């Protein structure tokens, strides 16, 4: 990445015209947007993390277009992944906030959100996320080429440039989807194996557990051993430090929000109840503090990005520009932004006032620029979307309260503002990575931007159905769908509006975050590990250990396009899709017909065996890639 803008030559020259924005690419992209959007929504609601769909989408498109359709069009494949990855990003933004409205509905605070409300909020956020990124492209993607690496965007370009590798790599994605679907059916469909393997440790008044799900191993493998170990550290802090301390020292104490003595809560419901009553609030304080710390550390970057964006707007979309320099016209962008803001204010299904609409413009463009710059430096996986959403919620809830917009209407307004900003931030980051891929390959930015808008619209039309379906099947805030970020956002809004949070626990989390930051460790992964049940972090760590072992063997620690990564991406998609299928079966009442738990129950041993089988599958696919890579190297010599 050492070349600068002047030296850079795209793969497809600006003067060459090749198929790009075609019927095939748009339809394939739309299908992938729906598939990966639904899968990521399910994953994010379970574990509070989502994964990038760009690389698996690129691999699938390359496999289908090049091998099945016998077409040689790299820009067409690029358009497929551009549209497809938009669905995953919009879903990520939506699930971090909007389930809070469902939770309030169960408490009788508000009515359940309609499909129309969810769709309109998602649509506004998705469109704004793309539109805000258009004037930023020249400043960040073009002028900063060689400075901002945009790791996922660059890796995606490498996958598409690999050409002949597209077909073999696609097999890894589909194999991962198939095997994960089978594992998920065994655990949650047939229910012959428990979803969690647990060992009680009575001496410490806690327990050690691991979930038997392929997506979690996939998340750990993709994130790598470092991030996975940070999450496990947070889990161990909660379950092997805080829980034993709370039960030991507060045995006979009745501590809010609990209604019985701490010891009785532990004896009757186990360590999980102590986590639910107390550790969740400590984790909430730590996540909130981690998000704010990351914003404070990024302030110089935020300010410089905003200044650069303002300068870059003047040269964006100039008349007579080359094909590879054409953006959507700035006048159209401004009209589009103005129209969306008017809709946010005027449509009754979106509970946002004029003040809220103005806040969305300010925070949206500001955090869109920040998101683009940050994913350029550290990648989408490390983009603190939830931290920016937390900052937005704190400020907007406070402003709404000051202006007299309180109660359920004020809380709905705050979470709607937070939802739109969260989606804007996620979409801006994804659009940046896709535009980087296009810049390297020689795509037409204007066509990519239109493709992003297609993906955002399709994802917005489907995410409402996915959320309503999952809520009806299992309910948000349950063991199956913890919806950690949304629960946190709900607590923040309630805390500012009503002042009813157990602030002592929240401040324990805040100062724990400060200690972790002083030690030089990234706060957010540790905070998420503390905030989530331990069984999630344990299984994610197993995936991280496999990645460490594979990297050590291959001596390629950044093998982004390796078969292990693609296989694990497929596993996440496969489990997510079967999760949606099982949710449909649960809603229509036929899930009991495939439930064999009454006649066959393999117990803990079965869970351990299945977990080992998942580990072996990941190891085999990662190993096969390494073997083929070595053969290729030896043949080249």
Residues 476-494 have pLDDT tens digits of 888 778 887 788 788 888 8
By the 10 Å C-beta count (0-12 exposed, 13-18 middle, 19+ buried), 396 is classed as: buried
* 176-180, 242-246, 555-559: range with lowest mean pLDDT: 555-559
DSSP label at 261?
B
Among candidates 294, 289, 434, which has minimal Cα distance to 372?
434
Alpha-carbon gap, residue 141 to 68, rounded angstroms: 33
Range with the poorest average pLDDT among 230-244, 501-515, 622-636: 622-636
Q: Under a CB-based contact definition with an 8 Å cutoff, are residues 527 and 287 in contact? A: yes
Question: Each residue of 563-619: pLDDT tens digit?
Answer: 777 788 778 777 877 877 877 777 677 777 787 777 777 788 888 999 999 999 888
pLDDT score for 233: 93
CA distance 284 to 531: 6
Residues 344 and 353: their CA atoms lie apart, in Å, by: 8
State residue 122's pLDDT score.
93
For the segment 353-357, the average pLDDT, to the nearest whole number, is: 87
Residue 6 has pLDDT above 70, yes or no: no
- Percent of the chain whose predicted confidence (pLDDT) is above 70: 85
**Sorting pLDDT into bands at 50, 70 and 90, what band is 336?**
very high
> For 543-561, what is each residue's pLDDT tens digit?
999 989 888 877 654 444 4
290: number of Cβ within 10 Å: 30
Would you say 32 and 173 are in contact if contact means Cβ atoms under 8 Å apart? no
How many whole angstroms separate alpha carbon 403 and alpha carbon 26? Answer: 45
Please report the pLDDT score of residue 295 as a whole number.
65
pLDDT, position 400: 86
């Amino acid at each position: 990445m050492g070349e600068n803008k002047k030296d850079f030559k795209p793969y497809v020259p600006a003067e060459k015209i090749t198929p790009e924005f075609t019927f095939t690419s748009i339809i394939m992209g739309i299908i992938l947007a729906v598939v990966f959007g639904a899968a990521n929504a399910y994953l994010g609601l379970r574990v509070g993390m989502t994964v990038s769909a760009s690389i698996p989408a690129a691999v699938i498109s390359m496999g289908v277009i090049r091998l099945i359709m016998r077409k040689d069009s790299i820009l067409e494949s690029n358009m497929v992944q551009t549209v497809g990855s938009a669905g995953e990003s919009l879903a990520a933004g939506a699930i971090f906030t909007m389930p809070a409205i469902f939770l309030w509905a169960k408490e009788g605070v508000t009515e359940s959100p309609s499909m129309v409300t969810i769709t309109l909020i998602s649509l506004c956020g998705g469109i704004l996320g793309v539109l805000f990124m258009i004037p930023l492209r020249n400043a960040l993607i073009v002028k900063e080429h060689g400075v901002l690496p945009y790791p996922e965007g660059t890796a995606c370009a490498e996958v598409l440039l690999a050409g002949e590798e597209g077909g073999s790599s696609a097999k890894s994605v589909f194999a991962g989807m198939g095997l994960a679907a089978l594992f998920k059916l065994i655990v949650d469909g047939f229910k012959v194996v428990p979803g969690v393997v647990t060992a009680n440790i009575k001496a410490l008044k806690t327990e050690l557990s691991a979930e038997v799900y392929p997506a979690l191993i996939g998340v750990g493998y993709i994130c790598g051993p470092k991030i996975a170990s940070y999450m496990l550290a947070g889990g161990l802090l909660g379950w092997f430090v805080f829980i034993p301390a709370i039960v030991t020292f507060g045995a006979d104490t009745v501590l809010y929000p609990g209604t019985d003595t701490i010891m009785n809560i532990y004896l009757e419901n186990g360590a999980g109840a102590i986590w639910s009553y107390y550790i969740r609030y400590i984790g909430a304080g730590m996540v909130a503090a981690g998000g704010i710390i990351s914003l404070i550390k990024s302030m110089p970057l935020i300010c410089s990005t905003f200044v650069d964006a303002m300068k870059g707007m003047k040269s964006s979309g100039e008349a007579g520009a080359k094909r590879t320099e054409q953006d959507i016209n700035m006048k159209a962008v401004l009209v589009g932004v103005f129209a969306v803001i008017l809709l946010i204010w005027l449509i009754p299904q979106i509970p946002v006032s004029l003040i809220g609409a103005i806040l969305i413009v300010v925070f949206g463009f500001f955090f869109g620029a920040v998101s683009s710059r940050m994913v350029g430096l550290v990648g989408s996986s490390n983009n603190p979307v939830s931290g920016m959403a937390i900052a937005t919620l704190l400020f907007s809830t406070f402003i709404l309260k000051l202006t007299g917009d309180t109660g359920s209407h004020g809380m709905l307004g705050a979470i709607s503002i937070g939802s739109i900003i969260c989606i804007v931030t996620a979409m801006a980051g994804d659009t940046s990575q896709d535009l980087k891929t296009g810049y390297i390959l020689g795509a037409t930015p204007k066509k990519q931007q239109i493709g992003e808008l297609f993906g955002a619209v399709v994802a917005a039309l489907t995410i409402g159905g996915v959320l309503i379906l999952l809520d009806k099947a299992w309910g948000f805030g349950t063991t199956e769908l913890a919806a950690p970020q949304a629960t946190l956002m709900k607590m923040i809004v309630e805390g500012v509006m009503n002042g009813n949070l157990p602030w002592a626990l929240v401040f324990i989390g805040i100062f724990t975050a400060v200690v972790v930051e002083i030690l030089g460790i990234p706060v957010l992964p540790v905070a998420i590990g503390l905030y989530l049940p331990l069984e999630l972090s344990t299984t994610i760590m197993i995936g991280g250990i496999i990645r460490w072992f594979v990297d050590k063997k291959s001596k390629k620690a950044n093998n982004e396009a390796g078969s292990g990564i693609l296989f694990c991406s497929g596993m996440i998609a496969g489990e997510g899709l079967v999760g949606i299928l099982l949710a449909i079966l649960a809603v229509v009442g036929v899930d009991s017909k495939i439930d064999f738990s009454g006649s066959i129950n393999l117990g803990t041993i079965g869970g351990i065996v299945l977990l080992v089988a998942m580990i072996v599958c990941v190891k085999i696919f990662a190993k096969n890639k390494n073997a083929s890579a070595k053969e290729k190297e030896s043949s080249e010599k």
